[in-house]
Amino acid sequence: MFKKLLVANRGTIAIRIIRACRELGIPTVAVFSTADKDALHVRMADESVCIGPPAAEDSYLNIPSILSAALTYGADAVHPGYGFLSENGDFAEACQRSGLQFVGPRARHIRLMGDKPRARRIMKRAGVPVLPGSEGKGVSEVRDALADGKRLGFPVLIKAAAGGGGKGMRIARDAGELERLFPIARGESEAAFSSRTMYLEKYLERARHVEFQILADNHRSVIHLGERDCSIQRRHQKVIEESPCPVLTARLREKMGKAAVRAAEVVGYSNVGTVEFLLAPDGQFYFIEMNTRIQVEHGVTEMVTSTDLVKESIRMAMGEELGIRQRAVTFKGAAIEFRIYAEDPERHLPSPGVVSNHHPPGGLGVRVETALYDGYRVPVHYDPLIAKLIVHSDTRDLAMARARAALREYLIDGIKTNIPLHLKILHDPDFIRGDFATDFLRRYEPSSARPSDADALAAEKAS
Amino acid sequence: MFKKLLVANRGTIAIRIIRACRELGIPTVAVFSTADKDALHVRMADESVCIGPPAAEDSYLNIPSILSAALTYGADAVHPGYGFLSENGDFAEACQRSGLQFVGPRARHIRLMGDKPRARRIMKRAGVPVLPGSEGKGVSEVRDALADGKRLGFPVLIKAAAGGGGKGMRIARDAGELERLFPIARGESEAAFSSRTMYLEKYLERARHVEFQILADNHRSVIHLGERDCSIQRRHQKVIEESPCPVLTARLREKMGKAAVRAAEVVGYSNVGTVEFLLAPDGQFYFIEMNTRIQVEHGVTEMVTSTDLVKESIRMAMGEELGIRQRAVTFKGAAIEFRIYAEDPERHLPSPGVVSNHHPPGGLGVRVETALYDGYRVPVHYDPLIAKLIVHSDTRDLAMARARAALREYLIDGIKTNIPLHLKILHDPDFIRGDFATDFLRRYEPSSARPSDADALAAEKAS
Amino acid sequence: MEVREIKSLVVLMNEYGIIELEIEDKKGKVRLVRGSAPNAEASTAAGTPARAHGPTPLPRRPAPAAPRSGGPIAAPIELADNQILVESPMVGTFYRAASPDSEPFVHEGDSVRKGQTVCIIEAMKMMNEVEATAAGRVVRIIAENGQAVEYGQALMVLEAG
Amino acid sequence: MEVREIKSLVVLMNEYGIIELEIEDKKGKVRLVRGSAPNAEASTAAGTPARAHGPTPLPRRPAPAAPRSGGPIAAPIELADNQILVESPMVGTFYRAASPDSEPFVHEGDSVRKGQTVCIIEAMKMMNEVEATAAGRVVRIIAENGQAVEYGQALMVLEAG
């Protein structure tokens, strides 16, 4: 058992990790920036350390500060959560070098999956279907991109090899657009990732985002815990995730699940991870990438499989064996997660402020993950995700009914949230039927501010 | 489907019923006394009606007022919740006469099970084990009680034939005590139930309170949903309930479950109900009574069986058939409920007041049922039960760990609560081992105010 | 003004963040004051889905003038020193006359004796006569004929004299 | 006074509803003020189980003088107009000397030049020298030798002149 675990994150995932540690009996150290001195995770942890000023680069992304905090306060393990340093191979390596157990995969797996063309090559060799796209190490020049575009046929998606969070991503519907947009996307990639390397993928119309949860121990056992449909996205943000995917047959689930497990097995992956696929209307599916960390939406998988993924990630990091085999994994009912963002639901602008009248819903099958409390000031410096509402019931219809009831109960004043948008979606006939793809949310864009194709389609790559 | 349902209750169970109706799409009418004008159930219901002044007899127990409210506001169904009119046969009958569907069993079943000696006779005839006790219609005179006492052997429990809530209950350890206490108990029964009829039961030492949840449709299908161990009681109040019972074997569960189903079947029972047993240390079990309504602790059964009992009670009342057979009922993990009372945990005195800093726990496997909100004034007029925390996990040990974490998170200021007592119990080695009986909580009575035997043992009959 | 009209006003106030609202027409005067403006800016921004989908307005703190229609907790009815209310003793339906064909028991402006029947509340098919608790003049009939009323709801204003 | 001592004081204050606490001893003066008294009466009554079992004190509203030990959000240190703080630029361990055998960089009462090394913060086995940001006199050394310090934590008080 770990002696003490440092939580290298903030917000809802920090709360989630602290709760798991409390259940396991592991003392926790929270880290925080000066902007987060009143944050809930600071109060809930057994100890807390200020690691820097508000800007994330100087605090939550500041590797020396976090390592120094872990060593100074006597931690022997670090949980990175999601975002921030969770997919930074250097951080994972620095932890191990400092004698701290990193709760996540090995540094080389983080790096491998972070290099998207390389991950594509490995998956292709392993027989996991990948989208037709650029071969080899990617392309940096417009000339090579145009050649790839012609070979693939338009539309194509321009992506950054070191990509993430939708940055450096554009859709090109013809050669002219590709010629115009490629340098823009490459510029974004240079700014965000210091990398000129891009790659092209065939763009799939009307595809769904379907990802599989992987759980792997250090002893080469790998299982999947079913899928999540995360097609309801707005630009770089997933908004609603659910399990099971409303259109997946048992047969297709088995096939995709096997592909996901193979993707993890072929590289010797360990800990939690997610293999993301695009699912075409014809039932074909394609690997897009693997996320080497716990996901925001892990909760829906926890509900339908009765598995505590965060506790499992800590157990795996301690070297324990998976206690469950693939055939023992069962799925019960349907779960849906609604991400609550501090934003104006009409204009999609962040809405920081002081929370009042905080009254989360409760009752049977209603789970709330939040770091809010009455009087808390939502800071401007970080992600606007302030809460996750997860509902679970016997069927998707019943889960939607439960979600409508719960969202009507949910009160958060002082800031604007996207709760009204969730309620609109829950009354949308296409959503109710389960008939949607990654472009679904475009219909709820304010007409005056409808974003360009390029923007909306960047939604395809939400993390 | 009902057109509109009137919720003839308040507090957490009113919230629970309104949530179920929202999921079913049934509009609700809340009723309230003038003391409850700011209560949460009033705000959550679609409509609300003031039915009288604070005293329960004039409002929540006022049958004409409630019926008038239902008819005036166009309801066609009434859910009584628990307490108040939920086990009043006259109310159930008056509802049906007024054309209102009563969500519960038929009036005659309420009356039958409310007459304890009669229920004992019927169960005995049906082969359900009952405790040795008075035969026939009970006893009213000390002389007859003494004869029964000699026949049974001491200690014996004196109970009221029309009993409930621990009133008119005393333990007598010898003939002298019986002679002295019988008139006192009979006096209590006369005051509370206008009935001089009492009965005696053999008093079982070190027994556990184990009850079975029954679900029955109007078409003679009856199933049970496993048991709840409710041995952690203080005087007339259950304090902690859990499912499964930590000491029940699969074989004993099947045997007791069959007895419970038989108890319901033999009278033609319908809707939800609970058959209560005492379980002796030798594994023998004895019927004590049947509660003909939803119980406070129904939530733990919901967690381990994934059944929505309140929605089921409404479905059954609409005449729908049970969708599930006994063999399809499965149990998953362990669930524990902690009743949060507005009371001083040391002195066990009610603690009404204005709630502030209300911060209920959340996350995986944590369910809160409460009618509290920040700024709410807990009224002095009603039951001090203000919230129920229900935790669920794979095993009892994991559920206890989750409960400790959740109770540490739970903040309710402005009033005193028994949360500290729950945390003490969760660190008690006997509780942790599952080694306890109905007298467990006596060890946490303040020594200066340790109640008399008679008081403490009345705990045996908590509803 | 009927209960449902007041309810819809309250919903409107809540949705558009109105703090205070005063309406005076021939039927009387309604003044609604929200103790705080919980949903004004935040949960229910412009463009919120209809009430049926919208968040339930929950109380922040029990405001003295909480937005309830009718009943003892209703919008306060301002009374002069020499005025008293006739309140409903039960839940039921308010009728001004003994039967649809009969003349109303009282009209605005009528003088009444103490103990005189001023209206009827029908509850459970029973007609319950409501009597004036003091002698005086009926200055205002607040409830509408046939309206559902709750316990303690103001029905009429009597003025001593 | 060490961090853990202050922490236990804070827990005490919280448990027994103490609003303000001031301690002065030879090591210095500690003044703790709770902005509100959230847990005073209610959740943590007398007889509450030990801290390990007890409810976590959660914030009511971010109090200006929230009970945190050390760091920029610590108990406020009262400064005269001509005084400034030397704050820790990083998380690490505070040392007054370059090595266990060396003389401390400064003592209380010493005068320092701007830019003069006044202490060391060890982080990740690296010794980081902390320099005086202005010339002045060291009037108080707040941190203990070998103490864990966080970003922005007050280490010393300098007085101009």
pLDDT digits (tens, 9 = 90+) for A23-66: 999 999 999 999 999 999 999 999 999 999 999 999 999 999 99
Does residue A324 belong to any structural domain of this protein? yes
Task: Check CB contact of B372 with chain C, cutoff 8 Å.
Answer: no
> CA of B338: how far to CAs of A250, A385, B62, B102, in Å?
39, 31, 31, 29
Point out the domain boundary residue: A202, A237, A262. A202
* Structure-block tokens of residue D86: 């030397």
* Main-chain phi, psi angles of B298, to 5 degrees: -60, -25
Domain of residue A158 covers 132-202
Beta strands in D3-135 (DSSP E): 20-25, 28-33, 83-87, 92-95, 111-112, 117-123, 126-131
Does residue A108 belong to any structural domain of this protein? no
Same domain for B273 and B366?
A: yes
The single residue listed with the structure tokens 């002195």 is B347
User: For residues A59 and A455, what is the distance between their CA atoms, to the nearest angstrom?
Assistant: 30
User: For residues A248 and A232, what is the distance between their CA atoms, to the nearest angstrom?
Assistant: 16
Q: What is the model's pLDDT at position A176?
A: 96
Task: Check CB contact of A349 with chain C, cutoff 8 Å.
Answer: no
Does residue A53 belong to any structural domain of this protein? yes
* Structure-block tokens of residue B168: 């008119």
Does residue A109 belong to any structural domain of this protein? no
Question: Which amino acid makes up residue A361?
Answer: P
Tally of domains in chain A:
3
Do residue A37 and residue D152 have CB atoms under 8 angstroms apart? no
Which of A293, A339, A367, A396 is catalytic? The answer is A293
What is the mean pLDDT of the segment spanning C118-134? Answer: 92
Q: Most B CBs within 10 Å: which of C124, C125, C149, as the mutation test of the B interface?
A: C124
Task: Check CB contact of B97 with chain C, cutoff 8 Å.
Answer: no
Residues 6+ positions from B265 with CB-CB distance below 8 Å: B220, B222
Same domain for B234 and B198?
A: no
The answer, yes or no, to whether residue A337 has pLDDT greater than 80, is yes
> CA of B301: how far to CAs of B224, B278, B334, in Å?
10, 19, 9
Chain D residues with CB-CB distance to A64 below 8 A? 90, 123-124
Nearest to A409 by CA among B412, B360, B384, B418: B360
Question: Which CATH number belongs to the domain containing residue A255 in this structure?
Answer: 3.30.470.20
Which of B234, B293, B339, B367 is catalytic? The answer is B293
Do residue D53 and residue B426 have CB atoms under 8 angstroms apart? yes
DSSP assignment letter at A90: H
Q: What is the model's pLDDT at position C29?
A: 52
Same domain for A230 and A286?
A: yes
Proportion of chain A above pLDDT 90, given as a percent? 88
Same domain for B81 and B140?
A: no
The C-alpha of A355 sits at a distance from chain C's nearest C-alpha, in angstroms, of: 10
Q: Most D CBs within 10 Å: which of A59, A72, A358, as the mutation test of the D interface?
A: A72
Chain B residues with CB-CB distance to C90 below 8 A? 52, 64-65, 68
Proportion of chain C above pLDDT 90, given as a percent? 45
* Per-residue confidence in pLDDT tens, chain B, 463 aa: 999 999 999 999 999 999 999 999 999 999 999 999 999 999 999 999 999 999 999 999 999 999 999 999 999 999 999 999 999 999 999 999 999 999 999 999 999 999 999 999 999 999 999 999 998 899 999 999 999 999 999 999 999 999 876 788 899 999 999 999 999 999 999 988 899 999 999 999 999 999 999 999 999 999 999 999 999 998 767 999 999 999 999 999 999 999 999 999 999 999 999 999 999 999 999 999 999 999 999 999 999 999 999 999 999 999 999 989 999 999 999 999 999 999 987 777 888 899 999 999 999 999 999 999 989 999 989 999 999 999 999 999 999 999 999 999 999 999 999 999 999 999 999 999 999 999 999 999 876 444 444 444 444 444 4
Subunits adjacent to chain A (3 or more Cβ pairs under 8 Å): B, C, D
Same domain for A167 and A308?
A: no
> CA of C52: how far to CAs of B45, B160, C38, in Å?
12, 49, 18
Chain A residues with CB-CB distance to D51 below 8 A? none
Same domain for B63 and B146?
A: no
Question: Which CATH number belongs to the domain containing residue B174 in this structure?
Answer: 3.30.1490.20
Do residue C53 and residue A411 have CB atoms under 8 angstroms apart? no
Q: What is the model's pLDDT at position C39?
A: 32
Same domain for A382 and A417?
A: yes
The C-alpha of C61 sits at a distance from chain A's nearest C-alpha, in angstroms, of: 9
Considering only the beta carbons, identify the residue of B345, B359, B424 that sits closest to D45: B345
What is the mean pLDDT of the segment spanning C37-55? Answer: 32
For residues A461 and A276, the answer to whether their CB atoms sit within 8 Å is no
Does ipTM exceed 0.85?
no
The answer, yes or no, to whether residue D136 has pLDDT greater than 60, is yes
The answer, yes or no, to whether residue D24 has pLDDT greater than 60, is no
Does residue B456 belong to any structural domain of this protein? no
Point out the domain boundary residue: B65, B85, B103. B103
Whether B and A touch, i.e. at least 3 CB pairs below 8 A, reads as yes
For residues A324 and A303, the answer to whether their CB atoms sit within 8 Å is no
pLDDT-derived band at D49 (thresholds 50, 70, 90) equals very low
* Main-chain phi, psi angles of C17, to 5 degrees: 70, 30
What is the mean pLDDT of the segment spanning A281-306? Answer: 97
Chain A residues with CB-CB distance to D62 below 8 A? 37-38, 375-377
Angle at C63 between CA C60 and CA C67, to 5 degrees: 95
Do residue A68 and residue D148 have CB atoms under 8 angstroms apart? no
The C-alpha of C17 sits at a distance from chain A's nearest C-alpha, in angstroms, of: 12
For residues B361 and B410, the answer to whether their CB atoms sit within 8 Å is yes
Quote the radius of gyration of chain B (alpha carbons, Å): 21
Same domain for A342 and A193?
A: no
Region for residue C136 given its phi and psi (left: phi exceeds 0; alpha: psi -120 to 50; beta: otherwise): left
Same domain for A65 and A137?
A: no
Q: Count H helices and E strands in chain B, helices first.
A: 15, 20
Beta pairing partners, B340? B387
Q: Residue A359 CA to chain centroid, in angstroms?
A: 26
| Neighbouring C-alpha atoms within 13 Å toward the C-beta of A368 | 28
Does residue A126 belong to any structural domain of this protein? no
Q: What is the model's pLDDT at position B204?
A: 93
The C-alpha of C107 sits at a distance from chain B's nearest C-alpha, in angstroms, of: 25
Q: What is the model's pLDDT at position D53?
A: 38
DSSP assignment letter at D66: -
Axis-axis angle for helices A63-72, A89-97 (nearest 10):
30
The C-alpha of C69 sits at a distance from chain A's nearest C-alpha, in angstroms, of: 21
* B-C contacts at Cβ under 8 angstroms: 75
Judged by DSSP in three states, B80 sits in coil
Q: Most A CBs within 10 Å: which of D150, D153, D155, as the mutation test of the A interface?
A: D150
Chain A residues with CB-CB distance to C43 below 8 A? 410-413, 417, 419-420
For residues B133 and B200, the answer to whether their CB atoms sit within 8 Å is yes
For residues B115 and B17, the answer to whether their CB atoms sit within 8 Å is no
Point out the domain boundary residue: B185, B202, B219. B202
Does residue B437 belong to any structural domain of this protein? yes
Helix (H) or strand (E) run with residue A265 in it:
helix A250-267
Question: Which amino acid makes up residue B23?
Answer: E
Same domain for B333 and B348?
A: yes
> CA of A87: how far to CAs of A82, A92, A93, A164, B360, in Å?
8, 8, 11, 10, 33
Residues 6+ positions from C46 with CB-CB distance below 8 Å: A346, C16
Q: What is the model's pLDDT at position C34?
A: 46
* Main-chain phi, psi angles of A214, to 5 degrees: -110, 145
> CA of B244: how far to CAs of A365, B301, B331, B399, in Å?
19, 9, 8, 12
Same domain for A287 and A317?
A: yes
Same domain for A218 and A189?
A: no
Please indicate whether residue A327 is annotated as part of the active site: no
Do residue D123 and residue A44 have CB atoms under 8 angstroms apart? no
Q: What is the model's pLDDT at position D31?
A: 54
Does residue A122 belong to any structural domain of this protein? no
Question: Which CATH number belongs to the domain containing residue A10 in this structure?
Answer: 3.40.50.20
pLDDT-derived band at C117 (thresholds 50, 70, 90) equals very high
pLDDT-derived band at A449 (thresholds 50, 70, 90) equals very low
| Residues A136-192: tens digit of each pLDDT | 899 999 999 999 999 999 999 999 999 876 788 899 999 999 999 999 999 999 988
Question: Which amino acid makes up residue A136?
Answer: G
Whether D and C touch, i.e. at least 3 CB pairs below 8 A, reads as no
